[in-house]
Amino acid sequence: MRFTVAIPTYNGALRLPRVLDALGRQRVPPGVSWEIIVVDNNSTDETAAVVAQYQAKFQANCQNDPAIAVALRYVMELRQGAAYGRQRAIAVALGDWVGFLDDDNVPDDDWVAAAVAFVRDRDRGGTVGAIASQIRGWYEVPPPPGFERIKAFLAIQERGDEPKRFDPAQGLLPPSAGLVVRRRAWIESVPEQLILGGRTATSMLTSEDLETLIYLQRRGWEIWYGPSLKIEHRISKNRLTREYLIPFFRGIGLTKYVIRMLRVPRSRRWLWVLLYGLSDLRRLIIHSWRYRRSLGRDVVADGEWMLYWSSFMSPWVMGRHLRKQGQILHDLSDSMKNSCVKGSDLGALNLEVGNAKNLDLKDLNLGSNLNNSTPHDSRDRGGPEAHG
């Protein structure tokens, strides 16, 4: 088996060493060749120099201990956005399987071995398209009260110790952090140009990873939760602030139209826009009443409120932009023929998912408040439970 670890990064010079050190401790099973690719998403810091230092270090380690031999490659992707970084990794990877790590994801020392073992144990029929890792959180500062309600949006995923298949009928999908993907499944299923590109310096739009996984499921590939694949997601203090979280939830909500409608046949989308809108409005009213005394002071409640409001507005905001740009949402059509997703499963209002030209908030002309973002950061994706 051939295995690739891909690390898309933007200005990750200070974060990459911890990830690369953890990868340098991996012990892979016999019969497995593997590599590491760092995809530089047009960084302006010393990312390239850091990778060069580790290339020399890994080469020296290889000579001293052949059991830990691994090639470290560096590639540049000038187009901003996590979607472009992942597409670049898939294009240049030599592995049959590609394991994605963000530059703040620290894998356990047996992560690669656990991924290989999971494939060998669960993929006897050749139907597994992706495997999600168990993700625990590490926090630079204590999270705010109520953080348990939103931690999945920051790619914290702990679903127990038993493997589980993500059922398309339930609508749950994992985040991209620690996601291991069959390269052939990606190439066969995922369009070269995604609708959602991921966050950049001017946009907090996210969910590009969920868009990718929907395409995999639509072609019938299974997506699994592999609890033996364990990583630590390091959450910096700035990502627990109001200044980060409110635009973050706004970006998740605004992408809901795209994520929801990709799972609905085009002929029925108008109906589900209406039904989802009513559901979002109901959630917004209930949430506003329940937290009426703490809104404006409770960052978690405020983030949830922004999620519901931007989800409600998503069809008008994103639909208008898609029409302006001449983009279309890919229909189920031929991909449904071989998919395990049935049309009757597609519209349920309890769907919880949670990634032409990629959408960018600066193109939406929604006012300066919607364009507030932290510097480009591809690490959080909105989590597996960006409520549908």
| Lowest mean pLDDT across 40-54, 240-254, 366-380 | 366-380
Which residues, in sequence order, are bridge partners of residue 71? 35
**What is the rounded CA–CA span in Å between residue 98 and residue 94?**
9
For all residues of the chain together, what is the average pLDDT?
Answer: 83
Q: Mean pLDDT over residues 159-185, rounded?
A: 94
Question: Which residues are CB-neighbours of 289 under 8 A, at least 6 positions away?
Answer: none
**What is the rounded CA–CA span in Å between residue 197 and residue 106?**
24
- Res 323: pLDDT: 72
Question: What is the DSSP code string of 202-246?
Answer: TB----HHHHHHHHHHHTT-EEEEEEEEEEEEEE-GGGGSHHHHH
Tokens 């997703």, residue located: 341
Tokens 């591809």, residue located: 378
Task: Strands of the chain (E only): list them.
Answer: 2-9, 33-40, 71-76, 97-100, 105-107, 128-139, 164-165, 180-182, 222-235
**DSSP classification of residue 38:** E
Which sign does the torsion angle of CA 388, 160, 380, 265 carry?
Answer: negative
Which residues, in sequence order, are bridge partners of residue 135? 157, 231
Per-residue pLDDT tens over the stretch 85-98: 999 999 999 999 99
- Res 204: pLDDT: 61
Which residues, in sequence order, are bridge partners of residue 40? 9, 76
- Res 20: pLDDT: 97
Which residues, in sequence order, are bridge partners of residue 188? none
Residue type at 196 in one-letter notation: L
Query: Do residues 328 and 155 make contact, with C-beta atoms less than 8 angstroms apart?
Result: no
pLDDT at 200 over 80: no
Q: Please name each of the domains of the chain with its CATH number.
A: 1-388 (3.90.550.10)
Side-chain-facing half-sphere of 124: CA atoms under 13 Å: 2
- Res 360: pLDDT: 39
Query: Do residues 339 and 127 make contact, with C-beta atoms less than 8 angstroms apart?
Result: no
- Res 202: pLDDT: 57
**What is the rounded CA–CA span in Å between residue 199 and residue 194?**
13
Q: Mean pLDDT over residues 231-242, rounded?
A: 96
- Res 108: pLDDT: 97
Residues 55-62: contacts with CB within 8 Å, 24+ apart?
Answer: 57/24, 58/24, 61/24
**What is the rounded CA–CA span in Å between residue 130 and residue 116?**
12
Phi, psi angle pair for 182, to nearest 5°: -70, 120
Residue type at 235 in one-letter notation: I
SS3 content of the chain, % helix, strand, coil (to 5): 45, 15, 40
Task: Tell how far CA 212 is from the center of its chain.
Answer: 9
Tokens 């826009």, residue located: 273
Phi, psi angle pair for 353, to nearest 5°: -115, 125
- Res 192: pLDDT: 85
**What is the rounded CA–CA span in Å between residue 321 and residue 307?**
19
pLDDT band at 370 (very low <50, low <70, confident <90, very high): very low
Residue type at 45 in one-letter notation: D
Query: Do residues 43 and 75 make contact, with C-beta atoms less than 8 angstroms apart?
Result: no
